[in-house]
Amino acid sequence: MKERIQRVYVPMTETGFYILFCLQEEMHGYNIGRKVKEMTGGEVTISPGTMYGTLAKMDKDGLISFVREEEKRKIYRITELGYEILHIELHRIERLYKNSRGEYRNGR
Amino acid sequence: MADKVLFRFLTVTDYEEEEIFLREQHKQGWKLRKYILPGFYSFDKVMPEDVVYRLDFDQAQCGGKEEYLQMYRDYGWEYLFDVNRFSYFRKPAVSAEDDMEIFSDNASRLGMVERIFKRRMIPLLIIFLCIVVPQMMIQLINWLDGGFAAAGALGIIYAALFAGYVFLFIHCGKKIIKLRKKYADLSDGRW
């Protein structure tokens, strides 16, 4: 199960990464969109159709789960599995970043 | 009463053309009021304005239509109606270009093409193969063998349907390949 999810989600798209990252706090779709805009200085936009579809897919795959509904807005939060995938992805991004600056894994 | 009615025959794969058509109309002061299949668009006369129209195909989860529409409203989209499982949205073209799209990556644009293919094209193909083709054959054979005029008339109707379907499949098939190529070529690759 986890292997399959990992194959599908790692490496992640920007949309997938930011949604999962934001959902470490409970949030609904539109707020995720706003926060991502703010975090990236407007460089990353997640439009409503993409947001809706990605949330539905991540929910189905068990990376996030529905918490409650507030005024017709579904609030989600990351799950255990979601954390695992997020950490794998964060580790990968960190490695890319370090390597790109000439740093090697064994600390030279 | 609507102030103007136009007829445009656009198939399920022509949604991007439809969006452009509706935006052009609004720019000329014709605001979409209603759309009735197979292609009657009725408009109200308003002040000309640049308003972007967007169509999404059958994305709301079962029983989740309200939440789905709320998401679009939050993003500033006005929901018009659903026709043929397409949801129609519009928004004045005043904000940044990014905010005028309902999809922000090619994976979700391709997702819509796939939904249209699976939920519209495949059912049509099944109707075509299981009903139109056999009925046409049966009626034409009855007509030629038994000389029944009624069978002949039915046979001709089915033959016309057959021609219509073939035209539709060729048109939509080509279009789907084109759309797939357009978004897969530019695609951010994967999930």
**Residues in chain B with pLDDT values less than 70:** 1, 185-191
Average pLDDT over residues A50-55: 95
Query: Which residues in chain A touch residue B75, judged by CB atoms under 8 angstroms apart?
Result: 30, 33, 47-48
Contact residues for B51 (Cβ-Cβ < 8 A; gap 6+)? B23, B26, B27, B31, B90, B91, B92, B93
How far apart are the C-alpha atoms of B141 and B145, rounded to whole Å?
A: 6
| Residue B108 · residue B59 · CB < 8 Å | no
Domain count, chain A: 1
- The shortest C-alpha distance from B160 to chain A (Å) reads 38
| Residue A97 · residue A80 · CB < 8 Å | no
Threshold 0.80, pTM exceeds = yes
Asked if residue A106 is part of any domain, the answer here is no
Task: Identify which has the larger pLDDT, B2 or A77.
Answer: A77
Contact residues for A17 (Cβ-Cβ < 8 A; gap 6+)? A89
CA distances from B147 to B141, B155, B160 (A): 9, 12, 20
Q: For position A66, what pLDDT does the model report?
A: 94
Average pLDDT over residues A46-61: 95
Chain B residue at shortest CA distance from A9: B191
Q: For position B45, what pLDDT does the model report?
A: 93
Question: What are the domain boundaries of chain B?
Answer: 4-100, 106-185
Reported as half-sphere exposure (CB side, CA atoms, 13 A), residue A53 has a value of 23
Asked if residue A108 is part of any domain, the answer here is no
B76: left (phi over 0), alpha (psi -120 to 50) or beta: left
- Cβ contact A15–B190 (<8 Å): no
Asked if residue A55 is part of any domain, the answer here is yes
- Cβ contact B59–A74 (<8 Å): no
- Burial-class residue B77 by CB neighbours within 10 Å (0-12, 13-18, 19+): buried
| Residue A15 · residue A64 · CB < 8 Å | no
DSSP conformation letters of B41-67: EEEEE-----EEEEEEES-SPTT-HHH
* pLDDT per residue as tens digits for the range A4-36: 888 888 889 999 999 999 999 999 999 999 999
Query: Which residues in chain A touch residue B104, judged by CB atoms under 8 angstroms apart?
Result: 15, 45-47, 50
Residue B95, SS3 per DSSP: coil
Asked if residue A107 is part of any domain, the answer here is no
Q: Which domain holds residue A78?
A: 2-99
CATH number at residue A87: 1.10.10.10
| Residue B113 · residue B184 · CB < 8 Å | no
Residue A87 pLDDT greater than 70, yes or no: yes
How far apart are the C-alpha atoms of B104 and B96, rounded to whole Å?
A: 13
- Burial-class residue B25 by CB neighbours within 10 Å (0-12, 13-18, 19+): buried
| Residue A18 · residue A44 · CB < 8 Å | yes
